[in-house]
């Protein structure tokens, strides 16, 4: 009886010690949990983890890698599409029914508020193509006031831009949104900026710094009063005042992830206009990356076809773990 009692005590003590050691090794002690919660509070989302941070543990697995599903649910992206009232039910509605549904939140920015679509009109924006800069500037200010702590990244697109959101999130997952980042199709002229039509994305911290530059009019280089200026050039200048430069958006083969033209123009490289060779930063390596994030000059038909090919068309490939029906004729 005493022997059995002693055995139970020893076994229980050993189990407790093992559990304590396991908790320390998996960073599930009180200190580890406090650190995880502190990181989550700092990011503004309890789901965010920096997949490049080697010190952070997720269960028993280091966070240097993550599954695609983890990336899709953890990296929070707000997309906003600049459009106008006359294109809401031709262009914008197709975007709303295709790629925009994969962003964590999408806002359509118009010169006229439309609650039924819906589209919003932040205070201060102008009308027409030449008012794109005021539309963009005041939209970013609106995002800072209402959404800066809700999302990690803020993606700007036009109503003829197509975004592969899964590829966007996979790319962004390598970067910390609490650092100032600015990504898009890089143009090397006029001080360096990203193409507006190809879309560009800035981090939460970059949005904070942009607001500081604009609100406090820190430099005449940030042309807040240039109501008719080029939107993409001006956003590059304002971010430059905060020492934020466009980041690298080439894949491992040197091909662009963000594109200034549609797939037809990018794949058939002889269709590039002459000015493009003076603007682009990677003339030696043209063409589409297999990890492409955006296309530009996509009309509604292009968007529908692209969305069907990417998300609905199935090309059957050889997989060892899946069986398909076959007529006995072929098995002889």
Domain boundary among 61, 86, 102: 61
In the chain, the number of structural domains is 2
**Looking at the domain assignment, is residue 123 inside a domain?**
yes
pLDDT confidence of residue 97: 97
Domain boundary among 11, 27, 61: 61
Dihedral Cα 163, 310, 285, 193, nearest 10 deg: 0
Of 63-77, 129-143, 235-249, 314-328, the range with the lowest mean pLDDT is 314-328
Does position 231 have pLDDT exceeding 80, yes or no? Answer: yes
Of 128-142, 166-180, 274-288, the range with the lowest mean pLDDT is 274-288
> Collapsing DSSP states into helix, strand and coil, what is residue 302?
helix
Sign of the CA dihedral with 316 first, then 301, 96, and 145 last: positive
Bigger pLDDT: 328 or 208? Answer: 208
Please indicate, yes or no, whether residues 224 and 85 belong to a single structural domain of this protein.
Answer: yes
Of 2-16, 36-50, 87-101, 295-309, the range with the lowest mean pLDDT is 36-50
Please indicate, yes or no, whether residues 49 and 93 belong to a single structural domain of this protein.
Answer: no
pLDDT in tens, 236-249: 999 999 999 999 99
Please indicate, yes or no, whether residues 151 and 200 belong to a single structural domain of this protein.
Answer: yes
Beta strands 193-194 and 182-184 are: unpaired
Is the distance from CB of 110 to CB of 67 less than 8 angstroms? no
Q: What is the pTM of this model?
A: 0.77
Please state, in angstroms and as integers, the Cα–Cα distance from residue 151 to each residue in 81, 148, 248, 280, following that order.
16, 6, 22, 30
pLDDT confidence of residue 24: 40
Please indicate, yes or no, whether residues 298 and 205 belong to a single structural domain of this protein.
Answer: yes
Within 10 Å of residue 295's Cβ, how many Cβ atoms? 27
Does position 328 have pLDDT exceeding 90, yes or no? Answer: no
Please indicate, yes or no, whether residues 51 and 79 belong to a single structural domain of this protein.
Answer: no
Does position 30 have pLDDT exceeding 60, yes or no? Answer: no
Please indicate, yes or no, whether residues 113 and 135 belong to a single structural domain of this protein.
Answer: yes
* Mean pLDDT of all residues in 319-327: 64
**CA pair distance 251, 304, nearest whole angstrom:** 26
Sign of the CA dihedral with 137 first, then 141, 146, and 151 last: positive
**Looking at the domain assignment, is residue 322 inside a domain?**
no
Is the distance from CB of 171 to CB of 293 less than 8 angstroms? yes
Please indicate, yes or no, whether residues 57 and 119 belong to a single structural domain of this protein.
Answer: no
pLDDT band of 226, cuts 50, 70, 90: confident
**Looking at the domain assignment, is residue 128 inside a domain?**
yes
Of 109, 115, 195, nearest to 159 by C-alpha is: 109
* Mean pLDDT of all residues in 290-306: 96
Backbone phi, psi, residue 187, to 5° = -110, 130
> Collapsing DSSP states into helix, strand and coil, what is residue 158?
strand
Please indicate, yes or no, whether residues 258 and 114 belong to a single structural domain of this protein.
Answer: yes
**Mean pLDDT of all residues in the chain?**
80
pLDDT confidence of residue 275: 87
pLDDT confidence of residue 269: 66
**CA pair distance 224, 235, nearest whole angstrom:** 10
- Domain containing 112 — which CATH number? 3.90.550.50
Q: Which residue has the tokens 């939140």?
A: 105
**Looking at the domain assignment, is residue 324 inside a domain?**
no
Please indicate, yes or no, whether residues 51 and 105 belong to a single structural domain of this protein.
Answer: no
> Collapsing DSSP states into helix, strand and coil, what is residue 107?
strand
Please indicate, yes or no, whether residues 215 and 168 belong to a single structural domain of this protein.
Answer: yes
Q: What is the DSSP string of 24-72?
A: HHTT-SHHHHHHHHHHHHHHT-TT---TT-TT-EETTEETT---HHHHH
> Structural domain of residue 252, as residue ranges?
75-311
**CA pair distance 48, 74, nearest whole angstrom:** 5
**Looking at the domain assignment, is residue 42 inside a domain?**
yes
**Looking at the domain assignment, is residue 44 inside a domain?**
yes
If you compute the radius of gyration of the chain from its CA atoms, what whole number of angstroms results? 25
Bigger pLDDT: 307 or 69? Answer: 307
**Looking at the domain assignment, is residue 325 inside a domain?**
no
Domain boundary among 39, 61, 83: 61
**Helix, strand, coil distribution of the chain in percent, nearest 5:** 45, 15, 45
**Looking at the domain assignment, is residue 316 inside a domain?**
no
Does position 57 have pLDDT exceeding 50, yes or no? Answer: no
Bigger pLDDT: 34 or 120? Answer: 120
**CA pair distance 82, 156, nearest whole angstrom:** 8
Please indicate, yes or no, whether residues 117 and 16 belong to a single structural domain of this protein.
Answer: no
Dihedral Cα 231, 302, 287, 254, nearest 10 deg: 60
Please indicate, yes or no, whether residues 28 and 83 belong to a single structural domain of this protein.
Answer: no
């Amino acid at each position: 009886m005493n022997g059995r009692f002693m055995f139970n005590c020893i076994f229980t003590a050993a189990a407790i010690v093992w559990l304590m050691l396991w908790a320390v090794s998996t960073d599930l002690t009180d200190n580890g949990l406090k650190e995880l919660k502190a990181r989550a509070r700092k990011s503004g989302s309890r789901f965010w983890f920096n997949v490049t941070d080697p010190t952070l543990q997720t269960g028993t697995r280091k966070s240097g890698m993550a599954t695609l599903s983890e990336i899709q649910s953890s990296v929070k992206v707000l997309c906003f599409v600049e459009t106008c009232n006359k294109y809401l039910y031709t262009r914008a509605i197709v975007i709303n029914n295709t790629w925009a549904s994969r962003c964590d939140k999408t806002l359509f920015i118009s010169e006229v508020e439309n609650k039924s679509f819906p589209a919003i009109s932040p205070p201060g924006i102008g009308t027409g193509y030449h008012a794109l800069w005021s539309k963009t500037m005041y939209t970013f200010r609106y995002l800072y006031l209402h959404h800066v702590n809700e999302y990690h990244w803020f993606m700007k697109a036009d109503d003829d831009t197509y975004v592969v959101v899964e590829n966007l999130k996979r790319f962004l997952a390598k970067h910390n949104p609490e650092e100032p980042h600015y990504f898009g199709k890089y143009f090397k002229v006029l001080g360096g900026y990203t193409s507006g039509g190809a879309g560009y994305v800035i981090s939460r911290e970059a949005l904070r710094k942009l607001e500081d530059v604009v609100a406090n009019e820190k430099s005449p280089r940030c042309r807040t009063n240039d109501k008719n200026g080029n939107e993409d050039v001006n956003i590059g200048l304002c971010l430059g005042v905060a020492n934020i430069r466009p980041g690298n958006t080439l894949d491992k083969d040197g091909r662009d992830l963000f594109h200034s033209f549609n797939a037809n123009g990018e794949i058939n490289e002889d269709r590039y206009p002459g000015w493009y060779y003076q603007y682009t930063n990677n003339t030696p390596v043209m063409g589409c990356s297999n990890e492409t994030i955006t296309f530009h000059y996509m009309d509604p038909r292009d968007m529908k076809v692209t969305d069907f090919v990417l998300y609905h068309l199935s090309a059957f490939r050889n997989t060892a773990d899946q069986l398909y029906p076959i007529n006995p004729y072929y098995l002889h």
